[in-house]
Amino acid sequence: MAEDVIQGFQNMNLITEEEEIIEVPDEGRREEIESCSQSLIGKFLTCKSYNKRAAHTTLKKAWGLQGEVQIVEVGSNLFQFKFSTEFDLERVFKGGPWTFDNQALMLC
């Protein structure tokens, strides 16, 4: 069975008419890169469930930010923290370690 599937995939080829080129304008790329330039990626080192809203609220208070932070869940227990200032990003990154409910938050 698996060999049939593999063989079927090996026999597949795109013809020129089927190829699709997706162009992303330079301006759009620059904007996306800039929107992530003041970001950290974080993950709570836990297998147990926790209240995400409470974690976000608690972290924002603990960090004592001068500006704003937007928290976006980008995967299972994986978050992007988008800071409005470079100062806040550096302060959070260098000011750790950070925890919530005795669960460590790993930032990179």
DSSP state of 64: T
Residue 95 phi, psi dihedral angles, 5° rounding: -90, 0
d(CA 71, CA 41): 10
Cis amide leading into 25 (omega within 30): no
* The two three-digit tokens of residue 5, written as one number: 């599937």
Comparison of pLDDT for 75 and 21, the residue scoring more = 75
Distance, C-alpha 39 to centroid of its chain: 9
Q: Does domain 2-107 have CATH number 3.50.50.60?
A: no
3-class DSSP assignment, residue 68? coil
Domain ranges for the chain? 2-107
pTM given for the model: 0.68
* The two three-digit tokens of residue 32, written as one number: 């996306």
Reported confidence tier of residue 88, pLDDT bands at 50, 70, 90: very high
| H or E stretch at 34 | helix 26-36
Summarize pLDDT for 9-64 with one digit per residue, the tens.
666 666 666 667 777 677 767 777 777 788 999 998 888 888 888 888 988 999 99
| H or E stretch at 7 | helix 2-10
Summarize pLDDT for 48-63 with one digit per residue, the tens.
888 888 888 988 999 9
